[in-house]
Structure 1
Amino acid sequence: MKKKLLCILSVSLYALTSYAQEDTVATKQQVAEVIVTANKFEEKSKYVAQRVEVLDPAVIENSMSNNTASLLEQTGKVFVQKSQLGGGSPVLRGFEASRILLMVDGVRMNNAIYRTGHLQNAITIDDDILEKVEILYGPASTIYGSDALGGVVHFQTRKPQLSSSGKLSVKSNVSTRYSSAFQEYTGHIDVNMGWKKWATLTSISYSSFGDLRQGNNRNPFYPELGKRKEYIERINGVDSIVANKDANVQKFSSYRQIDLLQKIYWQPKLNQSHQLNIQYSTSGDIPRYDRLTDTRNGQLRWAEWYYGPQERFMASYQYKAKALNGFFDQMMIGANYQNIKESRVQRAYKKEEKEYRIEDVDVLALNADLRKSKGRHEVSIGIDGQFNFLNSTAYKQNIVSQEKTYGLDTRYPDGSNNMNYTGIYGQHLFKLIPGKLIINDGLRLNYVSLNSKFSDTAILHLPFTGARQRNITFSANAGIIYLPDDKSKLSMGFATGFRSPNIDDMAKVFESAGGVQLVVPNPDLRPEQTYNFDLSLSRNFLGWIYVEASGFYSLFRNAMVLDKYKFNGADSILYDGKLTAVVANQNKAKAFICGFQGSVILRPLQGFGLYSYITYTYGRYQGLDGQEVPMDHIPPVFGKTGASYRYRLLEADVYILYNGWKHLGDYNPYGEDNLQYTTELGMPSWYTFNVSTTWSITKNIKAQVALENLFDQNYRVFASGINGAGRNLMIKLKASL
């Protein structure tokens, strides 16, 4: 209880001390009127009680990121976990993977097999075609439904541009990028063709990444952390353990990726538009680097362990109308289809049989959103539905004879699987005192159904043949915003969030934590729920000092946490020839998470600025035995501090990215934090020193050069299974035609 009170007190003091200062000098600088879609329809950010971070086109263009996960990480405001180079799992307020909602162009990416562990799906969006990223912190289930417990990351790609003259207008962008530590080569081209009422946008990107080189300047107390001393290679038809010539090269982490986008836009009238949005992303095999470093009986365990090509296809249609004459002023109607293919392939050392587990998910979705603005009121209502269909298969193949055999246990039930989300919501904005006091409130009703069937239970002798779920869930939000002047904003909010158990939660059977645990189904799961309280403020001082701070406290109920479990009355079962401890997702009695985020930006001179961002999160849950245990997915303190300079055609940034210690006592012993990849005292703190420059050679040609991790520090991000990049030279050239 003392820790909870201390956490709440620290949040309050951090916010109030920042706000209590008085600005004695008048300034023309106002609270930025950024347009956001946090409530689906475009809205000024100052009218939204929920904290929203916007990465605008300038930020995205100047970022020297390798992919969308790297883009989020470099903000210093989003924590990102990686189990392999081809990965990146964002963490918002201590929630990760299926507990935050990923969206692209208004379409939910989360599906029925999003897991609570770590995901790499965010990298299937091309960072070179992004126009904006909106990050919503805290529950957003009232608008977006299930999964938005920790927040929403909404990726928005560029829109086709009509011709201003009415004649055919053609514009294109070409870019190429190289990074030394990643051995990366990326090429991108996009072409926009615009007429008076029609426009198309075509985009193609290709990236190739080699084996990642980690830093050589090691912590003297942990000189062996992350060293890749040996690896398994098949030589003359025999698996052989080979000494790595350079232990800093993380052998077998390379992958490649292709991203395609095609948009067609039609605007028959000024207040109406139709858009067809087609996206396709595919990769080569993506080695699961952390598993390739696992050992058993003192030697490497896996000869091969990789994700097969990760494919994401999306076709989306959206109709928008505004300035309507009927009861509603604005309307958005959409329909979309997604197909996601994932596979896991593994082969043990000196075994000739390779195991394939393949998932194929089809997702259909519909939505209709309406808004009415009248006087001081704005009312939005909407209805949406997402329908998931999963086919899970598995087989073995002999790498010598190429013979296929079946009977391998599938990751998910091998029969029919479907999960459907439907919901209706209402959101209200009331300008109680226009320009001064604004109220947000909303309510959602959601219905979820799930059906999974095990066709063959002979392998694990399951005590049931299926999993079935029906649940009705409510969520609500209420917030108040006070704008005392054009330089300040103070907001307080309350919101509930929920996440309905999906097929991954309820019906998955798989091996975890380096083979020491077996995760089995728990058909009795219930929806997770959060009750969140927010306090945020921002203020400009003297025209060149900007301060922003936000604190939150969340009650987490029915939290699904991986913990010890009994399967057929036993706490261990024989699996893959080894007696393995049994664990399962379970609804823990209660939990809490709290924390704060702070930002300070100084602009004392024209073109020169200083900035610093920090995030702290603390979480504990109380198990069924009454013992308090750390929550998993809780990052250590992290942030970014730097200086920027802009002069004519030159832009330069010098900054430090850092993580604090994650001590062993703060790890969840049964969670997803990859405890086996840390030191005996936890994950050491680290920082990287980075320099980035941009030079506008001509109006249409830009060159960017960055030197990341200048001091070649060796480090590993908390919960990750691969070390971070060492000293890294990045070069990017871009031409706009």
Structure 2
Amino acid sequence: MLGLIGHAQTVVVKEKASKEPIPGVVLYNLKKNKSVITDIDGKVVIDVFSENEVIYFQNFLYTKMQLTKGEIAKSGFEVFMTLSVEDLNQVVISASKFEQNKRDIPQSIVSVSASDIALANPQTSADALAATGNIFVQKSQLGGGSPIIRGFSTNRLLIAVDGVRMNNAIFRGGNLQNVISIDPFAIQNTEVTLGAGSVVYGSDAIGGVMSFYTKKPQLSYKDDAFIKANAVTRYATANNEKTIHADVNLGYNKWGFLSSVSFTDFEDLRMGRHGPDEYLRTQFVETVNGTDILVNNSDPLVQNSTGYNQINLMQKVHFEPADNLKFDLGLHYSGTSDFARYDRLIRPSDNGLRSAEWYYGPQKWFMSNLTVTKLSSSSTFYDKIQATAAYQNFKESRIDRNFQSEIRRTRSEQVDAFSFNLDLEKRLGKTSSLFYGLEYLYNIVGSDGLETNIGTGQNTASLSRYPDGASWQSIAAYTSYKYKPNKKFVFQSGLRYNHIISNANFESNNAFLNLPFNTSKINSGALTGTAGIRWIPSDLLEWNLNASTAFRAPNIDDIGKVFDSEPGSVVVPNNNLKPEYAYGGELGLKLNFNDKVRLDFATYYTFLDNALIRRDFTLNGQSEILYDGELSTVQAIQNASQEYIYGFEIGAEVNFSKKLQLRSQYNIIGGTEEANGLEVPVRHIAPSFGRTHLTYKHKKWIFDAFAIYNNELNFNELAPSEISKDYLYARDENGNPFSPSWYTLNLRTQFIINDNFELTTSLENITDQRYRPYSSGIAAAGRNLIVSVKYSL
């Protein structure tokens, strides 16, 4: 080891997979109070350490490792670290709340890293999900984004942020846009479980789980501060998007702080030139001197009244008093301006358009969560324990006024959501591990209604959307077992028992609605389970088989909502509901031809029993009532159907070289449900869809040419609820509504200008196609140039 003496020893730390240098890796020995940090090129001088001294390598994105100085010299002063959180081909968290190798999970899990998001440049987190190729996204307005996974959507999918459930007591069966509250700039990685996740996450996790993990502060592991900052600005032509973002990391020996802020302003969205004329925005309503008039749109490609703005704030605090104990505090806030419900603004009527106003008030979300993580090598009950307590507050409102009406209706809601999770992991031996935990959730709903005469300014109390003061509780215990006798075989199974209690009082609303009951209570339990295997007989083959049950318990939206679901229909409360259950299976096959060609196949089937769906109903013996001045058919959420959903997914990856890669994903989904003795298409069955990317990487450049494509859904393939919204669709040769096929061609590049600047540009929908994704109320963007500049310090 004489070569170690007499000159500065410089180590280069690189990522194991890509061989790229890693900046910001801390090399330290706390006992000796020594630490150094790699620079932007992954280099660091280690003269401060002695020859046989143990040096720890740590960066929150990578698996912690330790080497002596002598071992580093033997490796030629190159050290390779393995991605832990970001590289989800290696590690996933969402499947059990703790890190596991992805190859140990029998279910299909889609991964989105921070670098994927930076290249995709999505305007919202909904757009980031759509970029995976496995998730279909519906939009009723620009401020929207309702994911559809394997034929399920809205309250049959679960959203989690840093392990905390976002779904609340008023998550609805209709399309919802809560996912846009999550800032894509703040995401470190996202894991999307395709298929049921009820054993770990409980109610709602029928079709899939979207787990977002936000960025964490990085420590310096010494007294001197470690400071890292980023700033991003972006502009897009299709809706004149103006975005700014900044984040600052301040790390000390045991404390770390991360602050993040993003602001985005969107103007009205412009659609493409080539496509169905039915999508054009030919007229809109203006109010002149207190009178509503129809105005011809000077540019029918511009979707009038779609613009809005949004701000996202995040503050993270990390405290690590010891190697085996960590505290993480997260504060999140998201708020939008008012934004129009565009699909309601284009509803026709005898007068031209039905609504003069229809918009959401500011959508606000606040979350505070505290997580304590402790490791133990001596406890009988756990090797790792994690406790998370969280509080969330949701605020939303709906404001609408009919054309030439003086009455503006405002319905406002808020939810206070409290949660506590205790998750434990225990290794039972060399071949098996046990994961188990407890969960408690409590939601309370506030809701009120108001009618305002815009001529006189007089306010009058009116029917609220939900029963004010309603509550929803969930108590659960779960356990999951993993058996891995060797590297080729893994078996995982789990059970969860969930008990749901909800209470709603309708006395206030009965002054307007006259229900035959004043209260509604649900007190029910649900037992769900899963079992699956992953078998890797060779480097060529990998099989996975998984069977699971899942459930969704009725929430306050199901039992207590009053709203106009579609023109001429009104949904009223129903106090006679029980949980719906899903029974499903998945078979997957992966083929790997020497890492040159990889093929991924999956097929699945789900049977949904006692499905909670909207059906015709009677109120006090009447099938029609007067609601908001219109005679409307009475409907209610009921356990009135069974659904059968099936699908096939194929993914392909061809590595022509280390620089040139082809990736493609295609999804085929089908399904039927029972309605009035007939089998009809399920509402949230998306058309077959996919995307193909050809990516070239050279030095500091990335080029990505890609195509996105959707198949047609003809008239006979549309669900009855979609046919009733025929104004959203194009017309076939018989004059019937249908969803046409469409495609876009796109190109984006990313260039690292120097150590501080990064430029990302995209030209989307190059051929300027005019299309409206299935079930969406707004046409997608036409030709769109996006330019983003990132500065890092």
Query: 1:487 offset after TM fit, Å?
Result: 4.8
Please give the residue correspondences for 1:42-57 in structure 2 after superposition, counting only pairs within 5 Å.
42-57=99-114
Q: Deviations over 1:181-201 (max 9, x none)?
A: 021000000000000100000
Counterpart Cα distance in 2 of 1:286 and 1:636: 28
- Secondary structure at the counterpart of residue 174 of structure 2: coil
Q: Give 1:484's aligned residue.
A: 537
Counterpart Cα distance in 2 of 1:660 and 1:298: 35
Q: Give 1:607's aligned residue.
A: 659
Conserved 8 A contact 1:652-1:693: yes
1:382 is aligned to 2:433: no
Q: Give 2:765's aligned residue.
A: 709
Conserved 8 A contact 1:31-1:539: no
Conserved 8 A contact 1:214-1:714: yes
Please, which moves more after superposition, 47-56 or 322-331?
322-331
Counterpart Cα distance in 2 of 1:369 and 1:45: 19
Q: Give 1:189's aligned residue.
A: 246
Conserved 8 A contact 1:31-1:486: no
Query: 1:31 offset after TM fit, Å?
Result: 11
- Secondary structure at the counterpart of residue 459 of structure 1: helix
1:725 is aligned to 2:781: yes
Which one-letter code corresponds to 1:59 in the other structure?
Answer: D
Q: Deviations over 1:150-181 (max 9, x none)?
A: 01001111011001544111101100111000
1:533 is aligned to 2:585: yes
Aligned length: 699
Counterpart Cα distance in 1 of 2:620 and 2:245: 54
Counterpart Cα distance in 1 of 2:197 and 2:657: 39
Q: Deviations over 1:588-640 (max 9, x none)?
A: 342210001110010112311112100111111123x4321111111000010
Conserved 8 A contact 2:345-2:355: yes
Please give the residue correspondences for 1:526-565 in structure 2 after superposition, counting only pairs within 5 Å.
526-565=578-617
Conserved 8 A contact 2:397-2:413: yes
Please give the residue correspondences for 1:36-185 in structure 2 after superposition, counting only pairs within 5 Å.
36-185=93-242
Counterpart Cα distance in 2 of 1:377 and 1:299: 66
Q: Give 1:574's aligned residue.
A: 626
Which one-letter code corresponds to 1:196 in the other structure?
Answer: N
Change (3 A) 1:375 1:284: same
Counterpart Cα distance in 1 of 2:453 and 2:351: 26
TM-score by length of 1: 0.93
Change (3 A) 1:672 1:113: farther
Conserved 8 A contact 2:703-2:749: yes
Counterpart Cα distance in 2 of 1:175 and 1:347: 39
Please, which moves more after superposition, 288-297 or 714-723?
288-297
Query: 1:63 offset after TM fit, Å?
Result: 1.2
- Secondary structure at the counterpart of residue 155 of structure 2: helix
Query: 1:673 offset after TM fit, Å?
Result: 8.8
Query: 1:571 offset after TM fit, Å?
Result: 2.1
Q: Give 1:460's aligned residue.
A: 513
Counterpart Cα distance in 1 of 2:90 and 2:487: 12
Q: 2:643 aligns with which of 565, 572, 591?
A: 591
Query: 1:435 offset after TM fit, Å?
Result: 0.6
Q: Give 1:294's aligned residue.
A: 347
Q: Give 2:704's aligned residue.
A: 653
Counterpart Cα distance in 2 of 1:207 and 1:31: 29
Identity over the aligned pairs, expressed in percent? 37
Counterpart Cα distance in 2 of 1:127 and 1:205: 9
Query: 1:541 offset after TM fit, Å?
Result: 0.6
Which one-letter code corresponds to 1:189 in the other structure?
Answer: A
1:211 is aligned to 2:262: no
Counterpart Cα distance in 2 of 1:441 and 1:400: 63
Q: Deviations over 1:14-37 (max 9, x none)?
A: xxxxxxxxxxxxxxxx99434443
Conserved 8 A contact 1:588-1:621: no
Q: Give 2:449's aligned residue.
A: 394
Query: 1:674 offset after TM fit, Å?
Result: 4.4
Query: 1:648 offset after TM fit, Å?
Result: 0.8
Q: Give 2:365's aligned residue.
A: 312
Q: Deviations over 1:455-489 (max 9, x none)?
A: 23121211111211010100000001101134542
Query: 1:45 offset after TM fit, Å?
Result: 0.6
- Secondary structure at the counterpart of residue 491 of structure 1: strand
Counterpart Cα distance in 2 of 1:674 and 1:600: 37
Counterpart Cα distance in 1 of 2:89 and 2:340: 43
Conserved 8 A contact 1:633-1:672: no
- Secondary structure at the counterpart of residue 684 of structure 1: coil
Conserved 8 A contact 2:270-2:301: yes
Counterpart Cα distance in 1 of 2:160 and 2:760: 29
Change (3 A) 1:65 1:412: same
Conserved 8 A contact 1:445-1:474: yes
Which one-letter code corresponds to 2:683 in the other structure?
Answer: D
Please give the residue correspondences for 1:195-594 in structure 2 after superposition, counting only pairs within 5 Å.
195-218=252-275, 222=276, 224-327=277-380, 328-373=382-427, 374-406=429-461, 408-414=462-468, 416-431=469-484, 433-456=485-508, 457-513=510-566, 515-594=567-646
Counterpart Cα distance in 1 of 2:88 and 2:426: 26
Q: 1:678 aligns with which of 723, 729, 732?
A: 729
Q: Give 2:749's aligned residue.
A: 693
- Secondary structure at the counterpart of residue 279 of structure 2: coil
Q: Give 1:631's aligned residue.
A: 682
- Secondary structure at the counterpart of residue 163 of structure 1: coil
Which one-letter code corresponds to 2:516 in the other structure?
Answer: P
Query: 1:241 offset after TM fit, Å?
Result: 1.3
Conserved 8 A contact 2:759-2:787: yes
Counterpart Cα distance in 2 of 1:192 and 1:578: 56
Q: 2:714 aligns with which of 635, 658, 663?
A: 663
Counterpart Cα distance in 2 of 1:234 and 1:562: 35
Please, which moves more after superposition, 650-659 or 234-243?
234-243
Counterpart Cα distance in 1 of 2:342 and 2:643: 32
Q: Deviations over 1:72-113 (max 9, x none)?
A: 112221100000000000111111010000011111000000
Which one-letter code corresponds to 1:528 in the other structure?
Answer: E
Conserved 8 A contact 1:632-1:672: no
Query: 1:671 offset after TM fit, Å?
Result: 6.2
Query: 1:697 offset after TM fit, Å?
Result: 0.5
Q: Deviations over 1:414-452 (max 9, x none)?
A: 3x2000011000000011x31111110000000000100
Conserved 8 A contact 1:675-1:719: no
Which one-letter code corresponds to 1:688 in the other structure?
Answer: T
Counterpart Cα distance in 2 of 1:176 and 1:213: 21
Counterpart Cα distance in 1 of 2:725 and 2:707: 25
Counterpart Cα distance in 2 of 1:301 and 1:560: 29
- Secondary structure at the counterpart of residue 300 of structure 2: coil
Which one-letter code corresponds to 2:709 in the other structure?
Answer: Y
Counterpart Cα distance in 1 of 2:595 and 2:129: 28
Please, which moves more after superposition, 342-351 or 667-676?
667-676
Conserved 8 A contact 2:726-2:737: no
Query: 1:319 offset after TM fit, Å?
Result: 0.3
Change (3 A) 1:530 1:672: farther
Which one-letter code corresponds to 2:690 in the other structure?
Answer: G
Query: 1:134 offset after TM fit, Å?
Result: 0.3
Conserved 8 A contact 2:539-2:592: no
Q: Deviations over 1:268-292 (max 9, x none)?
A: 0011100110000001001100111
Which structure's CA Rg is the greater one?
2
Counterpart Cα distance in 1 of 2:711 and 2:520: 42
Counterpart Cα distance in 2 of 1:487 and 1:703: 39
Which one-letter code corresponds to 1:195 in the other structure?
Answer: Y
